[in-house]
């Protein structure tokens, strides 16, 4: 059921240890709030750059901070393989190891159940992976996924879930939901660090009724936040938008709502309008390394000959380091020359663009101007490369 305009603005504050979510404003279903974490406040809507192996590719913590980033994502499966959770713990945890003072969220390895389907075997107890690095076998259960994340020391950790590809037959979706709910309860029972928030993950594909059933069981277990998994895994964007519009308003208003692995700027704007608070995606950095730059006027492909002698910045409306100092012509030269600096500079711009987009949406919600802002944004030029979702 959809919330009426502004109905969530005074929803109760959720607290768990030193983590809590404060809902500050709502305009229709769009929400603005703050995640209070052990490593600082995170304003929502929030976009988390993906730092799979405890690094956002080619960007330093100082650059992320300057770009406006308040929280980054790291990956349990990849850090389990290298350098190992014990090594991370001995180095002081993720924050100390990365020299990152902001918040960190770790996913559980559940997405690798989908993306590494050829290298894993799944059963009701957990998942056995064959390492993509050296072929060695590794077992991930709900208990070990949480134990590893406890060692990594992230501010927000995720339950282990099963993420089926789309389209999927109903029996496969139902089996994934059954496992996801059972594993979520085991994750909560295994969680030992009260200062870490633990989020449940709602599966169910494009079946809103199955999603509702999954959500109801997760809410009964009780989590600090709720994520939507299993989207942007093969379905057309309009189908994802329809599911978001039908379902997100039914998620607990007093908890943060996280849409995993999504997506393009248009995806984010649609999802915020449906009531989502948090996002992650590799798109800004992966496409940045390929020479694609996001702007207010569409997506630029900087390798194009049209930019050969351009003295314009990527985006004249952007105040990031890249746009303040470098021209499109120079960036094109870097890409054609195979220089790593090109990908780093465009990645930095793209991350800054996404953070600015979050701030714009927050400001529109706070000003009760969401509908007009959203309509104007979605009427802008179409974007370039398709959404890409995977580890970085």
As a whole number of angstroms, the distance between CA 346 and CA 385 comes to 15
Question: In the chain, which residues have pLDDT < 70?
Answer: 1-17, 113-114, 382-391
User: Is 0.85 surpassed by the pTM of this model?
Assistant: yes
Q: Which two tokens stand for residue 28?
A: 């229709």
Report pLDDT digits (tens) over 325-352.
999 999 999 999 999 999 999 999 999 9
Of the listed 107, 155, 277, 315, which one is catalytic?
107
pLDDT attached to residue 382:
65
* Closest residue by Cα to residue 111 from 227, 245, 272: 227
The angle formed by the CA atoms of residues 129, 131 and 135, to the nearest 5 degrees, is 115
For the chain, the farthest-separated pair of C-alpha atoms sits apart, in whole angstroms, at: 60
Domains of the chain: residue spans and CATH: 14-288+349-378 (3.20.20.105)
Of the listed 207, 224, 280, 315, which one is catalytic?
280
As a whole number of angstroms, the distance between CA 48 and CA 179 comes to 27
**Strands, DSSP E only, in 76-161?**
103-107, 120-122, 127-130, 137-140, 156-158
Report pLDDT digits (tens) over 116-162.
778 889 999 999 988 888 999 999 999 999 999 999 999 999 999 99
As a whole number of angstroms, the distance between CA 75 and CA 392 comes to 9
Identify the three-state secondary structure at position 20.
strand
pLDDT attached to residue 186:
98
* Closest residue by Cα to residue 44 from 259, 280, 358: 358
Identify the three-state secondary structure at position 264.
coil
Rounded to the nearest 10 degrees, the angle between the axes of helix 170-190 and helix 208-221 is 10
| Ordered strands of the 137-140 beta sheet | 120-122, 127-130, 137-140
Is residue 245 annotated as a catalytic residue, yes or no?
Answer: no
Contact assessment for residue 247 and residue 266, using Cβ atoms and an 8 Å cutoff: no
End-to-end CA distance of the chain: 36
Q: At residue 365, what are phi and psi to the nearest 5 degrees?
A: -65, -45
pLDDT attached to residue 391:
58
pLDDT attached to residue 19:
96
Q: Which two tokens stand for residue 65?
A: 């901070």
Is residue 107 annotated as a catalytic residue, yes or no?
Answer: yes
Contact assessment for residue 63 and residue 288, using Cβ atoms and an 8 Å cutoff: no
CA distances from 266 to 112, 133, 270, 360, 390 (A): 25, 35, 6, 13, 19
Q: Dihedral (C-alpha) 361, 272, 320, 53: value to the nearest 10 degrees?
A: 150
């Amino acid at each position: 059921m959809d919330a009426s305009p502004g109905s969530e603005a005074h929803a109760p504050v959720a607290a768990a240890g030193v983590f809590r979510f404060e809902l500050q404003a709502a305009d229709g279903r769009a929400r603005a709030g703050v995640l209070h974490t052990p490593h600082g406040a995170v304003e929502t809507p929030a976009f988390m750059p993906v730092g799979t192996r405890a690094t956002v590719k080619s960007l330093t913590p100082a650059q992320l901070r300057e770009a406006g980033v308040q929280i980054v994502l790291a990956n349990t499966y990849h850090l389990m393989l290298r350098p190992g959770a014990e090594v991370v713990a001995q180095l002081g945890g993720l924050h100390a190891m990365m020299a990152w003072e902001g918040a960190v969220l770790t996913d559980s390895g559940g997405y690798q159940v989908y993306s590494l389907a050829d290298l894993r075997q799944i059963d009701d107890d957990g998942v056995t992976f064959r390492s993509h690095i050296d072929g060695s076998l590794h077992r991930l259960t709900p208990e070990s996924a949480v134990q590893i994340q406890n060692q990594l020391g992230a501010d927000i950790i995720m339950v282990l879930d099963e993420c089926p590809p789309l389209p999927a037959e109903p029996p496969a979706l139902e089996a994934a939901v059954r496992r996801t709910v059972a594993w979520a309860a085991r994750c909560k029972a295994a969680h030992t660090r009260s200062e870490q928030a633990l989020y449940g993950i709602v599966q169910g594909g494009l079946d809103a009724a199955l999603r509702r059933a999954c959500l109801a069981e997760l809410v009964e277990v009780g989590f600090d936040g709720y994520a939507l998994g299993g989207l942007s895994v093969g379905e057309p964007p309009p189908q994802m938008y329809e599911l978001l519009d039908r379902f997100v308003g039914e998620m607990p208003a007093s908890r943060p709502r996280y849409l995993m692995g999504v997506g393009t700027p248009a995806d984010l704007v649609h999802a915020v309008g449906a009531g989502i608070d948090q996002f992650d995606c590799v798109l800004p950095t992966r496409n940045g390394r390929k020479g694609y730059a996001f702007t207010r006027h569409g997506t630029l492909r900087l390798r194009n000959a049209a930019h050969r002698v351009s003295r314009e910045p990527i985006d004249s409306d952007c105040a990031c380091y890249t746009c303040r100092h470098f021209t499109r012509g120079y960036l094109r030269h870097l890409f054609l020359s195979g220089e790593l600096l090109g990908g780093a500079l465009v990645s930095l711009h793209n991350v800054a663009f996404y953070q600015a987009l979050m701030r714009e949406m927050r400001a529109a919600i706070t000003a009760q101007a969401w509908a007009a802002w959203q309509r104007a944004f979605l009427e802008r030029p179409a974007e370039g490369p398709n959404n890409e979702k995977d580890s970085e």
